[in-house]
Chain A
Amino acid sequence: MVRFLAGRALALVITLLAATLVVFLVLNVVPGDPAAYMMGLGGDPAALAELRRELGLDLPVWQRYFAWAGGLAMGDFGVSYTYRVPVGDLILERMRVTLPLTLMAMALSTALAIPLALFAAGRRGRAADAAVSGLAQVGLAIPNFWLAILLVFVFSTTLKLFSAGGFPGWEAGVWPALKALVLPAVALALPQAAVLTRVARGALIETMGEDYIRTARAKGLSERRALRDHALRNAMIPVLTILGLQFTFLLAGGIIIENVFYLPGLGRLVFQAIAQRDLVVVQGVVIVLVFAAVLVTLAVDAAYALADPRVGKGRR
């Protein structure tokens, strides 16, 4: 298993290196002159020259790449052009909103989806199953930002239970901060829960058709108990894949939701940075998100190896 994970980690490191190259090329080479792009139209030539020096554009492309990648390895993301502070600090600051939001949404979506999937799979073909499947089908079709608008209308404009947006900061106390994240987390979680319910239900039903479930039933296990004791762990494998994908999706998918709720998270940071053409910030955030995606993939692989003794032992 250790060898399997080491192999996967190596592949992911290569992916990460390739990703830095792609990000660098897209943001530093495609726009032509990054400094001119960042200044926008009508930039003062003296300021442009100053920015060029600041960005090190007088150096050849490959030297700039290595300087940047080397900096990344040391945790140096550069200095934001608009905020004039280190990008690393900026990202850390914004992570304090985005990470809790993502985790809340994940927890909510999983807590909703897995019991629903078990419930439906245990009653497959019956009315209860059809209801859950239908609900999931509709949930899948709802854009999270529309759900966010509806939630704001119902719970803040009409019922006045939550504020319509903004974030008081953790300094204002844990409860007010968490409360500000509830609606955004629900808006993010519900469509994801629909996806997860469908995948988990499908995996459970497929697993229930396996021969070893028949062996378990022949042992005297009831259908529900066979579902719980034998099917669930086997069905977790596709579910883990989806969970991993959802984490990275939510981390970045906050972009729109954070804008709906005016939350000072990573998504809003990168969106504003794009609007302000602050490529240094954009570059930093993209790399952080790719790094998170790669880490999550590795975590999912490790979870596979734990869930399934066959993984990484030569046989499929």
Chain B
Amino acid sequence: MKRSSASLAIGLAFTALILAAAGLSLVWTPYDAELILVEQRLMPPSAAHWFGTDQMGRDVLSMILGGARNSIAVALVAAGIGLGAGVPLGLFAAAQGGIVDEIVMRSNDLIFAFPALLLAILITAIAGPGAINAIVAIGIFNIPVFARLARGGALALWPRDFVRAARVAGKGRLRISLEHILPNIASVLIVQGTIQFSLGVLAEAGLSYVGLGAQPPAPSWGRMLAESQTYFALAPWLALAPGLAIVTTVLGLNMLGDGLRDLLDPRIRRERAI
């Protein structure tokens, strides 16, 4: 009990920090994150540049703040795609059963059979790199995760007596799905939402690391890491700052998910895709 509330508190704090950073970057950053000042390149952390400057003299703190916005936006929208498409599919499959269920689940298996990262790379490669395509690529893989979770939860609820009672009361399957099933699986979905959110942050970082995420000059954590590699011996802060930013975000979201799960329902079993 105590540990889960600690998890919730830390998770909330980290998540709030990253969200605040992303929000702040919309209106203010210490320097223009895209401003190149070659004479100020590779400066170590100082009072003027808390996290130092990169090989082109850009302020790393400003880039981290801007990168937060990009990371959060991509992962959040991708998780939203998964929830928005996956949950109705899962509920529908569970409510209809039979051939409909079979088709929905087999399509899910099909998506799962593709190596996620590879297909994301493929999609961005064919459709062109960029934040929007990264969202689509990550979002597609969130759909079966939520569809499975919603279907599994719904299937466990359909034989329950309160659902039977609703059927005896003459309610249709669609209405029961909305009135009885959805509220009872909402907490599991919220928890999984935070997990897919955090996985999305990792995936976005991976895509932009290989140059397929947000395109320059927009700052992104993954690309900062890629660019830092050459200068690691010279300027280790360049690799540390974005790496720690990613870890903080993912850690915060995961701990938030853990805390929420214990808070909302101690009996929830969690499905975690990698």
Q: Given A26-B122, A146-B225, A255-B121, A293 and B113 touching (CB < 8 A)?
A: yes
B125 at the interface (CB under 8 A from A): yes
Q: State whether B115 touches A248 (Cβ < 8 A).
A: yes
Q: State whether B109 touches A143 (Cβ < 8 A).
A: no
User: Which chain B residues border A249 with CB–CB below 8 Å?
Assistant: 115-117, 274
**Interface 1/0 per residue, A47-74 and B, CB below 8 Å:** 0000000000000000000000000000
B23 at the interface (CB under 8 A from A): no
| A199 CB, nearest partner CB in chain B, Å | 7
Q: State whether A246 touches B246 (Cβ < 8 A).
A: no
| B51 CB, nearest partner CB in chain A, Å | 16
User: Which chain A residues border B112 with CB–CB below 8 Å?
Assistant: 293
| B98 CB, nearest partner CB in chain A, Å | 16
A200 at the interface (CB under 8 A from B): no
Q: State whether A141 touches B251 (Cβ < 8 A).
A: yes
Question: Please, how many angstroms separate the alpha-carbon atoms of A130 and B272 in the complex?
Answer: 20
Q: State whether A289 touches B118 (Cβ < 8 A).
A: yes
| A136 CB, nearest partner CB in chain B, Å | 10
Q: State whether B110 touches A15 (Cβ < 8 A).
A: yes
Question: Please, how many angstroms separate the alpha-carbon atoms of A242 and B209 in the complex?
Answer: 26
**Interface 1/0 per residue, B243-256 and A, CB below 8 Å:** 10011111100110
A270 at the interface (CB under 8 A from B): yes
Q: Given A274-B122, A286-B122, A143 and B246 touching (CB < 8 A)?
A: yes
Whose C-beta in chain B lies nearest to the C-beta of A148? B229
Say which residue of A37, A141, A192, A259 sits within 8 Å of B246 (CB atoms). A141
Say which residue of B117, B119, B243, B270 sits within 8 Å of A146 (CB atoms). B243
| B47 CB, nearest partner CB in chain A, Å | 26
User: Which chain B residues border A15 with CB–CB below 8 Å?
Assistant: 106, 109-110, 113
Q: Which residues of B (104-145) have their CB < 8 Å from a CB of A?
A: 106, 109-110, 112-119, 121-122, 125-126
A306 at the interface (CB under 8 A from B): no
Question: Please, how many angstroms separate the alpha-carbon atoms of A149 and B247 in the complex?
Answer: 14
Q: State whether B206 touches A26 (Cβ < 8 A).
A: no
Q: Given A153-B232, A293-B114, A256 and B210 touching (CB < 8 A)?
A: yes
User: Which chain B residues border A162 with CB–CB below 8 Å?
Assistant: none
B27 at the interface (CB under 8 A from A): no
A307 at the interface (CB under 8 A from B): no
Question: Please, how many angstroms separate the alpha-carbon atoms of A143 and B201 in the complex?
Answer: 10
Q: How many residues on A have C-beta within 8 angstroms of the other chain's C-beta atoms?
A: 57
B239 at the interface (CB under 8 A from A): yes
Q: State whether A149 touches B115 (Cβ < 8 A).
A: no
**Interface 1/0 per residue, A251-293 and B, CB below 8 Å:** 1110110011000000100110011000000100110011001
User: Which chain B residues border A174 with CB–CB below 8 Å?
Assistant: none
A206 at the interface (CB under 8 A from B): yes
**Interface 1/0 per residue, B228-239 and A, CB below 8 Å:** 110011001001
Whose C-beta in chain B lies nearest to the C-beta of A30? B126
Question: Please, how many angstroms separate the alpha-carbon atoms of A14 and B116 in the complex?
Answer: 20
Q: State whether B109 touches A289 (Cβ < 8 A).
A: no
Q: Given A19-B110, A195-B272, A141 and B254 touching (CB < 8 A)?
A: yes
Q: State whether A138 touches B115 (Cβ < 8 A).
A: no
Question: Please, how many angstroms separate the alpha-carbon atoms of A140 and B229 in the complex?
Answer: 22
Q: State whether B113 touches A26 (Cβ < 8 A).
A: no
Q: Which residues of A (118-153) have their CB < 8 Å from a CB of B?
A: 130, 137-138, 140-143, 145-146, 149-150, 152-153
Whose C-beta in chain B lies nearest to the C-beta of A202? B270
User: Which chain B residues border A149 with CB–CB below 8 Å?
Assistant: 225, 228-229, 232, 239, 243
Q: State whether B254 touches A153 (Cβ < 8 A).
A: no
Say which residue of A14, A22, A252 sits within 8 Å of B106 (CB atoms). A14
A176 at the interface (CB under 8 A from B): no
User: Which chain A residues border B206 with CB–CB below 8 Å?
Assistant: 143, 145, 256
Q: State whether A195 touches B113 (Cβ < 8 A).
A: no
Question: Please, how many angstroms separate the alpha-carbon atoms of A251 and B270 in the complex?
Answer: 25
A157 at the interface (CB under 8 A from B): yes
User: Which chain B residues border A27 with CB–CB below 8 Å?
Assistant: 122, 126
Q: Which residues of B contact A (CB under 8 A)?
A: 3, 106, 109-110, 112-119, 121-122, 125-126, 198, 202, 205-206, 209-210, 225, 228-229, 232-233, 236, 239, 242-243, 246-251, 254-255, 258, 269-270, 272-274
Identify the 9 closest CB pairs spanning chains A and B, nearest first: A252-B115, A141-B250, A141-B251, A146-B243, A274-B125, A252-B118, A141-B247, A293-B113, A289-B115
A sample of 12 more A-B contacts (CB under 8 A), given A22-B114, A146-B242, A149-B232, is: A16-B113, A19-B113, A140-B254, A141-B246, A143-B209, A145-B209, A146-B246, A253-B117, A255-B210, A256-B206, A285-B118, A286-B115
Report 19 cross-chain contacts, Cβ distance below 8 Å, ordered by A residue.
Answer: A15-B109, A18-B106, A26-B122, A137-B258, A140-B251, A141-B246, A145-B206, A153-B232, A153-B236, A198-B272, A249-B274, A252-B115, A252-B118, A253-B115, A253-B117, A256-B206, A274-B125, A275-B125, A289-B115
